[in-house]
Amino acid sequence: MNNHEIDFKIYGDDMQFVEVELDPKETVIAEAGSFMMMDYDIHMETIFGDGSGNSAGSGIMGKLLSAGKRVITGESLFMTTFTNNGIGKKRVSFASPYPGKIIPMDLTQVGGKIICQKDAFLAAAKGVSIGIEFQKKLGVGFFGGEGFIMQKLEGDGMCFVHAGGTITRKELLPGQTLLVDTGCLVAMTSNVNYNIEFVKGIKTAMFGGEGLFFATLRGPGSVWIQSLPFSRLASRVFAAAPSRGGAKDEGSVARGIFDMFSGD
């Protein structure tokens, strides 16, 4: 194996965090901003790209290329490594960015490659390559919810992906097709055929409230679906946020007294 072998435990229900156990000299890489806590003897270092050295080379140009790929996917130029420099096992924890679930994925059990939405990656064993996957089909690129570019996780180690709400894994048989809301697709194995299908029926398309397109996923392979995409969560929170005018109308007696003294 090229990747560091790490042990882990996931805590919590809706706002989860993952605790990774590192043997001496073992390293885990994580998305910038996901760190929660760690033991004293763990050394934290910021690096360009993912630090895997796969395909891009280990020189300065390779590091710049690796970092550049992350910029294309909308992520930071930098990632953070956490290495156990002490004696005995040490632990470091990474937290979910919003309500949802952390999905542990052993890449050796899914063909060594996972394609996922751009902001899904949370952490991984050192050696896992975090790259980009271009969608070659025009319809998928324009209407697929994730655009032309998705994240690609490759290697033979453990990685952790985060998604919103409840997560379900579907195993598709050869030729079996699953229709999914374009924002609900979290990840899929590389052998799944991904395409876009227009919603049938003009009334359904215009007034159904579910968008104009489905993602069609054709097996064989595995797909992971989320019940609450972050974009849907953000739009509901934004819609529920009271405006200044609305806040006045909903005030109590104390609010009315405050407005009287303030001149409103």
β-pair partners for 224: 169, 187
pLDDT of residue 46: 87
Task: Give a yes or no: residue 257 inside a domain.
Answer: no
Helices then strands, each counted (H, E), the chain? 6, 19
Mean pLDDT of the chain: 77
| Residue 145 counted as domain residue | yes
- Considering the entire predicted model, what is its pTM? 0.75
Asked if the structure places residue 246 within a domain, the reply is: no
Residues of the chain under the 70 pLDDT cut: 1-2, 49-77, 134-148, 198-212, 231-239, 243-264
The 10s digit of each residue's pLDDT in 96-130 is 988 889 999 999 999 999 998 878 899 999 888 88
CATH code of the domain containing 134: 3.60.160.10
Residue 156 in domain? yes
- The pLDDT assigned to 205 comes to 46
Phi-psi region of 242 (alpha: psi -120 to 50; beta: other; left: phi over 0): beta
| 62 exposure class (CB count in 10 Å sphere: 0-12, 13-18, 19+) | middle
Is 259 contained in some domain? no
pLDDT for 244 equals 54
Is 95 domain-assigned? yes
What pairs with residue 123 in β-bridges? Answer: 30, 160
d(CA 258, CA 182): 47
Residue 264 lies in a domain: no
**Cα distance between residue 174 and residue 177, in whole Å:** 9
Domain that holds residue 206: 7-240
- Which pLDDT score, from 0 to 100, does residue 199 have? 64
Q: What is the count of structural domains for the chain?
A: 1
pLDDT per residue as tens digits for the range 211-244: 567 788 999 999 999 988 776 666 666 667 776 5
- Assigned domain for 57 exists: yes
